[in-house]
Chain A
Amino acid sequence: EVQLVESGGGLVQPGGSLRLSCAASGFTFSSYAMHWVRQAPGKGLEYVSAISSNGGSTYYANSVKGRFTISRDNSKNTLYLQMGSLRAEDMAVYYCARGSSTSLIRPVFGYWGQGTLVTVSS
């Protein structure tokens, strides 16, 4: 059974940093691109970042470019999102999602984690 379990969310002050993790199991992690999608309270879904299966290609939404860094450790079956210079508008539930191939091209998100809440407030 495919499982994705996010962790690392919490309360952080504006300007602060946080690292999210997504532990994967039930599939060959190193064979799939991985993605982060967020959802602000009461709002819709926003695509945030992605990384190819070998980590060689990454993508960032303009809203987080230069502040967030996506990475993965295929030996630990874990995806990361290092978030810095956090703003109030970054407050959201962050979901990791499995892509459908090794690359970032035309993915579909068949599996999602349960999400981890990031609260940005002083």
Chain B
Amino acid sequence: EIVLTQSPDFQSVTPKEKVTITCRASQSIGSSLHWYQQKPDQSPKLLIKYASQSFSGVPSRFSGSGSGTDFTLTINSLEAEDAATYYCHQSSSLPHSFGQGTKLEIK
């Protein structure tokens, strides 16, 4: 089973700041890594698929990179509405797994 480890677990940031969240896989998963945003009492929303492809309708300040075991979600010029928990997800092999989540607080 592939374990995904995100860092940090929590980050407090100011608007317009650049944020980087990392996700490390316990073994190589190629580019089968996706990023989701979940706000309180809402279902997760897809931001980035297959490591670096933006999902339809997602603001351009969200971007992803990486391959193999190390991946990064970058949020450029953070906005107040970006306060949420972010999860990475690997679908390279079953069981599909999620990272533990990174909670982003806006100061």
Contact = CB atoms under 8 A, between A and B. Distances in A.
B94 A107 contact: no
User: 10 nearest interchain CB pairs?
Assistant: A112-B43, A45-B98, A108-B49, A47-B96, A44-B101, A106-B91, A108-B34, A110-B46, A106-B32, A107-B91
Q: Secondary structure at chain A's binding surface: helix, strand, loop or mixed? A: loop
Interface of A: 35, 44-47, 50, 59, 61-62, 95, 100, 104, 106-110, 112-115
Interface of B: 32, 34, 36, 43-46, 49-50, 55, 87, 89, 91-92, 94-101
A100 B46 CA distance: 12
Contacts, number: 51
Contacts of A45: 36, 44, 87, 89, 98, 101
A115 B91 CA distance: 21
